[in-house]
């Protein structure tokens, strides 16, 4: 049995950058608070906690109530935050380290500009997702968040629209909803904000999943990005399984597989995939001999 790590696996540039940034800061201060988990990955959050990174839930502080972190050093993860929360942190935290992904910051700026120009902001994404909450917080929370065509009744199609999306949604979904909106009105400025790293990841994962007998997708159970990738992998390889760690692997899945692929989402660090590979190589293979 061959165990292969997907050559295209690993976190996206925005997450890698945030982890690098926070690890640098943790060398000088072991008392930093992250606004929400840095990535949707429990083991990585735990590793960083051991270095001094605490986490508060974003919902606890969105809306401007930052009393719990007053006077502390805070770190903003790659998803970004609302203008209101940023202002509140700058007014009350000891120091603010901004790890927002530059691509997300660019979308936030576009939203502010188009909103100020009088356009209705429509965001295709998951309601309540931290990046979406942050984006909407750049148009005074007046944006309309849509997850499917069913949400079209929330949009005022008589007004000019600026259409963007959460960076991690499927590109097909973005194009599909955009085309449907264009059938209703032509007064839409569209900015395709699906992250290319995520888009390529979809194609890369599709090819990788199809090339192995069994696919183990490593990612946090609360990660919407992993959920999208898992559906995609399943569609080309029914023997695909979503795991968080080696304890989730059921040996029966491997059956008579000749190749087992290990891949991950945008928030899965390489060390976790290597751990799965090592586990399979060092523990499972000798047992099967
Ligand atoms: S998915 Fe793309 S936009 Fe989102 S954090 Fe990663 S690199 Fe940035």
Please tell me whether residues 95 and 119 are part of one structural domain: no
**Which residues 6+ apart lie within 8 Å of 218 measured at CB?**
243, 244, 245, 262, 263, 264, 265, 268, 272, 273, 276
pLDDT along the chain (289 residues), means of 10: 92 90 94 90 88 90 80 94 94 95 98 98 96 97 98 98 95 96 98 90 93 94 85 97 94 91 89 94 64
User: Which amino acid residue places its CA nearest to atom 4 of ligand 1?
Assistant: 167
Looking at residue 7, the DSSP 8-state letter turns out to be T
How far does the centroid of ligand 1 lie from the alpha carbon of residue 52, in Å? 25
What range does the domain containing 116 cover?
A: 103-194
Compute the distance from residue 51 Cα to the ligand 1 centre, in Å: 24
6: domain CATH number?
A: 3.40.1010.20
Instruction: Give the C-alpha separation, 77 to 178, whole Å.
Output: 29
Report how many domains make up the chain: 3
Q: How distant is the alpha carbon of residue 232 from its chain centre? A: 16
Where does a domain end: 101, 134, 151?
101
pLDDT at 68: 84
Of 147, 162, 194, the one marking the end of a domain is 194
Write down the pLDDT at residue 59.
Answer: 79
Cα distances (angstroms) measured from residue 78 to each of 101, 102, 170: 5, 8, 19
Given the residues 62, 114, 131, 244, the one annotated as active site = 131
Q: Is 231 a catalytic residue?
A: no
In this prediction, residue 255 carries a pLDDT of 86
Strand partners, 261: 4, 215
Q: Is 164 in the same domain as 175?
A: yes
Phi and psi at residue 208, in whole multiples of 5°? -65, -45
CB-CB neighbours of 55 under 10 Å: 17
């Amino acid at each position: 049995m061959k165990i292969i790590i997907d050559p295209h696996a690993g976190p996206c540039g925005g997450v890698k950058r945030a982890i690098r940034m926070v690890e640098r800061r943790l060398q000088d201060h072991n008392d930093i608070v992250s606004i929400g988990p840095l990535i949707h990955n429990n083991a990585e959050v735990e590793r960083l906690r051991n270095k001094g990174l605490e986490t508060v839930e974003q919902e606890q502080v969105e809306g401007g109530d930052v009393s719990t972190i007053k006077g502390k050093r805070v770190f903003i993860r790659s998803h970004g935050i609302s203008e209101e929360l940023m202002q509140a942190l700058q007014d009350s935290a000891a120091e603010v380290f901004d790890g927002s992904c530059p691509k997300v910051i660019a979308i936030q700026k576009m939203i502010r500009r188009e909103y100020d120009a009088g356009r209705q902001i429509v965001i295709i994404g998951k309601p309540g997702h931290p990046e979406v909450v942050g984006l909407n917080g750049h148009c005074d929370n007046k944006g309309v968040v849509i997850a499917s065509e069913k949400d079209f009744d929330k949009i005022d199609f008589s007004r000019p629209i600026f259409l963007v999306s959460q960076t991690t949604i499927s590109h097909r979904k973005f194009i599909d909803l955009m085309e449907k909106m264009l059938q209703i009105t032509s007064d839409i400025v569209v900015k395709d904000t699906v992250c290319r790293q995520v888009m390529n990841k979809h194609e890369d994962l599709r090819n990788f999943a199809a090339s192995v007998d069994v696919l183990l997708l490593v990612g946090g159970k609360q990660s919407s990005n992993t959920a999208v990738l898992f559906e995609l992998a399943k569609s080309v390889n029914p023997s695909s399984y979503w795991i968080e760690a080696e304890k989730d692997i059921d040996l029966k899945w491997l059956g008579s597989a000749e190749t087992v692929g290990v891949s991950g989402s945008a928030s899965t660090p390489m060390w976790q995939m290597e751990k799965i590979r090592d586990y399979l190589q060092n523990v499972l293979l000798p047992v099967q001999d």
